Every structure is written in structure tokens, then in C-alpha cells.
Amino acid sequence: MKKFIRNIFFGKLPVSEYSTVTTNQSIFEKVFLDSGQSVLDVSVTHWLLCLDPIVFGIWFEKNIGLVYQKDGTAYTLRFMDEALNANTVAILKLTYFNQIEDQEGTLLLLKLKKASIHHLGFIKTLLLYYRYYKKAEQNFYKLKSYAAAYSYPRRVRLVSFQEGNWYNIFPMDLVGDLSSCGRYVFGLRHSNVTLTRMIQAKKVVVSEIPYEYKDIIYQLGKYHRKPLSEIGTPFGVIQTEIFRFPVPEWANGYKEISISNCLNLGSHMLLWGEVMNNRNLSKPHGHLFHIHFLHYLHQISRGRTYKLV
């Protein structure tokens, strides 16, 4: 019976919590922020930065004239599956958490209060939760929260750091690239062994990487909790121009970032910095992204999906 139900839901598609995808084209999902006074397209200027509580960062340049409320006023973040003939797949209610002020603008930080998702019907979603997703650390509310947050593709990058003979390289998707003004934002778990060293040195390097190296990238995931220097780098590296930090020789490029601000968000620490050097090494032809599996199922139902890798 379980196999029969699974085949109805997924066919031969393997069930996972997140789907790893790539695309050579622009992201087709859209995200809109309703502040009660205006509705803005924040698709490329919003980032997930913390998981407990869930906190989003939304960037506003100086000329936007941002007015934010600190009194518990609810903001609405609406996730749409595409620009034309769009369906709303998730709606998040958020409140003011904090902000980072910069000479170029403001990073508004909003904390999740309520989540609703519409990727699939409620009964189907509930059945999937009890069959595949229910566990001690994830109740139905967390499933809705994560499915909503990953209804927009989160790009995976590699983070590098070195201090003497101690170095580390690990993947992240809680990052934001403000290319228009040369800023960068990270959300790093407090348990990450590199966090304290990066804060003290005020330096970090982030690399853009091609999806073909997915297996190596995921192997590097274990080095959130221990440094890569304990075993040695299992691939060739080059040194960055200013900091002399290691990045994979197959990276498309890297940015050397000077950290200027830190803020405790909960389970994650926010790092805010300025890009000191932007080096392109090769032409990108497909980045690595994470979307929630429920969102991928919705894409299938709409007949428009990213390439699974």
C-alpha cells in the first residue's frame, strides 16, 4: 500500500527534504514584500539567514526611502511560482527583528510568525509530512516554514578561511550577494568551527562553484564542525590575491570580503561585509541551488521544472 501511494505521488522520483537543481537561465520564481504601505519585488534582494527562529534579510538601497515598523506590525512575504500566470505557493507573516545600517542602504531583518503553503493540497501535504518528514526536530509548522523559505532557489556557495596552517572550506546557502553595492551577508551556525576565527580576523572568501562538483561540495559539508586542514584538501586549490585563502581550482570565481558587522540572530550569526576583491576565473554555466521537495513537486504539476542534479 505504501509503495502504491508513493508511486501515485512521485512515480520513480526519489523522496528527499530538499531537491538539488541547476539552471542556465534566470530564476523564474518571484517574491514580494507587503509592508502595509507598499508592495515591492524583493526576489533578488531577500535572503534566508537563520533557521531558529527563521529570519530573512531584505536589502533596501538608500533611494528606496524605507520606512519600517518596530511595533509588531506584520509584514507579508509572498512566494510566487513564476512571473506570468503565477500561483502563490507560500505566504509568510513576519515582524521586525533588527536591521543593519550601511552607507549604501539598510538590511531589514524580519522574523517569521506564521507560515502557510500551497504547493499541494492540504491532505496530500499532511500525508507526506506523516510519511516522510515527521521527526523529533521537525513538526508540521517547521515543515511549512522550511518549504516556504525554500520556495525560492537558494544558491550554494563555498566559504573559505585560513589562519596559519589552519584552514577550512565548506558550503553554504544562507548567503546574500549585494552585487549592486559590493556587500555580502552570511548566516552561519554558532556551531561552525570557523565562525569565531572569521569574526576575529574580519575576513572571509566566498566562491561561486559549478553544479558538476556537487558530490565534492556535499562532502565538504562535514567541515562545518571540523577544519578541512585536519585531513588536507582533496582537490587542487589556488590562493586568493589579497587574503591568500584557498579556493578550489575549479571555482568560477571568488570574492574576498572584509567583515564589518556581526549580529546574533538565534541559531545563526549574521556576518556583514564589503567586497574587497572580485575575481572571475571561468564563465559560469550552471550554479547549484536548493529548493524544497514540495516546491519541486509543485513545479512538476505546473510543467516547468529546473534540472535535477
Q: What is the pLDDT of residues 176-194, one digit of tens each?
A: 999 889 999 999 999 999 9
Q: Yes or no: say if 206 and 158 are a contact pair by the CB < 8 Å rule.
A: yes
Q: How far, in Å, CA of 195 to CA of 189, rounded?
A: 8
User: 58-72, 179-193, 227-241, 274-288: lowest mean pLDDT where?
Assistant: 58-72
| Domains parsed from the chain with CATH numbers | 2-153+289-308 (2.30.110), 157-280 (2.30.110.10)
- 225: confidence class by pLDDT, cuts 50, 70, 90: confident
Note the pLDDT of residue 185: 98
Beta sheet of 289-292, edge-to-edge order: 154-155, 289-292, 18-22, 307-308
DSSP state of 10: H
Q: What is the pLDDT of residues 155-166, one digit of tens each?
A: 999 999 999 999
* β-bridge pairing 203-208 and 183-189: unpaired
User: Which grid cell sits at 5?
Assistant: 501511494
Q: What is the pLDDT of residues 1-34, one digit of tens each?
A: 456 556 666 666 778 899 999 998 789 999 999 9
Q: What is the pLDDT of residues 243-300, one digit of tens each?
A: 999 999 999 999 999 999 999 999 999 999 999 999 999 998 899 999 999 999 999 9
Contacts of residue 64, defined as CB under 8 A and 6 or more positions apart, other chains included, come to 40, 105
Average pLDDT over all residues of the chain? 91
Note the pLDDT of residue 35: 85
User: Which grid cell sits at 67?
Assistant: 520606512
Q: What is the pLDDT of residues 99-123, one digit of tens each?
A: 999 999 999 999 999 999 999 998 8
- The string of DSSP letters for 226-281 reads S-GGGT--SS-EEE-TTT--EEETT-SEEEEEEEEEEEE-SSEEEEEEEEEEEEE-
Q: Is 28 exposed, middle or buried (0-12, 13-18, 19+ CB in 10 A)?
A: middle
pTM of the model: 0.93
Q: What is the pLDDT of residues 126-171, one digit of tens each?
A: 888 888 888 888 899 999 999 999 999 999 999 999 999 999 999 9
The amino acid that residue 19 corresponds to is S
Q: How far, in Å, CA of 93 to CA of 34, rounded?
A: 10
User: Which grid cell sits at 239?
Assistant: 590562493
Note the pLDDT of residue 89: 96
Helix H or strand E encompassing 189:
strand 183-189
Q: Which residue has the cell 541547476?
A: 22
User: Which residue, among 249, 242, 250, has the nearest Cα to 274 in the 3D structure?
Assistant: 242
- Dmax (CA) of the chain: 60
Contacts of residue 215, defined as CB under 8 A and 6 or more positions apart, other chains included, come to none
Helix H or strand E encompassing 204:
strand 203-208
